[in-house]
């Protein structure tokens, strides 16, 4: 598996399994798997930003809420876009 990124807020590391086209999240403390997601199911950070701005405009989210997707979402998305183009 290929190392993709480390989360800053939590002690988790994301890896990519090219054979399964799947991202795996491991707990750094225990080494246990804490989650998986396939590349095709990753959320698009641009769509997250658009949805959050719309929700804020409608009053469904506080104005102080962040607009953009978190850094890990962006890193996984960028990795997936590169992985798709290299297939």
The low-confidence residues of the chain, meaning pLDDT below 70, are 87
Q: What is the pLDDT of residue 47?
A: 97
Residue 7's domain spans which residues? 2-85
State how far the alpha carbon of 40 is from the alpha carbons of 3, 13, 43, 49, 76, in Å.
Answer: 18, 20, 9, 19, 11
The tally of domains found in the chain comes to 1
Burial (0-12, 13-18, 19+ Cβ within 10 Å), 59: exposed
How many C-beta atoms surround the C-beta of residue 21 within 10 A? 15
Q: Give every CB contact of residue 49 below 8 A, 6+ residues apart in sequence.
A: 67, 68, 69
């Amino acid at each position: 598996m290929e190392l993709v990124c480390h989360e800053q807020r939590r002690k988790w590391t994301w890896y990519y399994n090219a054979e399964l086209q799947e991202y795996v999240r491991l707990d750094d403390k225990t080494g246990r798997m804490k989650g998986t997601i396939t590349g095709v199911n990753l959320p698009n950070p641009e769509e997250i930003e658009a949805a959050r701005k719309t929700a804020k405009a409608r009053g469904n989210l506080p104005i102080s809420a962040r607009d953009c997707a978190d850094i890990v979402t962006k890193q996984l998305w960028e990795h997936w876009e590169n992985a798709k183009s290299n297939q």
